Amino acid sequence: MPEKRVVLVTGSSRGIGATLVTEFAKDGFRVVLNYAHSQGEAEALHRALVGQHGADRILLRKANVAKRDEVKAMFDAAVDRFGRVDVLVNNAGLNIDGPFLAMTDEQWERVIATNLTGTFICAQEFALRFTGKAGHIINFSAATGLRGRKNGANYCSAKAGVITLTKCLAIELAPKICVNCVLPGQMNTEEVMTRYNLHDKPTLDRMLSTIPLGRLGTTEDVYRVVRFLVKDAEFITGQNFFVNGGMVL
């Protein structure tokens, strides 16, 4: 039987998010593709998905996840089009790195707003509308939310908050909604390659030497974990799932 469920993926115009909406569509889901700033990339992906799967299964919505009114409008549009949303993937994220002593209030607040407050707002608007019996919220965090790193006080704090928020939501939204957290490691996305200068082979080789499985992750690696949680994991909630090749054990 074809998949009838509806999935909304925030920050899905590129990188991991783009793979998630692409693969969910291939698996038969109806998908809501969200972006805040990358309009050109989002519209190009939307055209491609509509061409492959039909306009009745793909919805494109612009919304800044940190702004309640925009998130409400996005969920209302999804419910108007598809009748419901069954799965929320909180993928939208933002990095503004800098030394702690030089970090501005704006740098702190923007990163917290997107990564943590945005996850809170989207999860709440999803849960307020969900009337089914088997919903899923998949939050995205990072291992640095557990161990910290240099020049990332805002990002690491936000991702630590996401981990704890996941546990709180898993308790409060059970038994109708399962809430889990995926923590990707170093992926072969352009954002990661550029941020860590991994186009330079010696730098890449040093990075790979820290990963037991000996390669960067792919966005498809992340999708396989998300798909498992959404399609096959009926008795798992409040858990962290590391997709990092053993880089953090």
Whether 196 is a known active-site residue: answer no
Range 6-187+218-243 classified under CATH 3.40.50.10540: no
Percent of the chain with pLDDT over 90: 96
Average pLDDT over residues 168-188: 97
The amino acid sitting at 202 is P
Tell me, letter by letter, the H, E, C secondary structure of 88-149. EEECCCCCCCCCHHHCCHHHHHHHHHHHHHHHHHHHHHHHHHCCCCCEEEEEECCCHHHHCC
Q: What is the 3-state secondary structure (H, E, C) of 185-219?
A: CCECCHHHHHHCCCCCHHHHHHHHCCCCCCCCECH
Residue 48, H or E segment: helix 39-53
Domain boundaries, the chain: 6-187+218-243
Which pLDDT does position 249 carry in this prediction? 87
Instruction: Spot the catalytic one: 35, 155, 196, 223.
Output: 155
pLDDT digits over 95-141, tens only?
999 999 999 999 999 999 999 999 999 999 999 999 999 999 999 99
23 vs 168: CA distance, rounded Å: 29
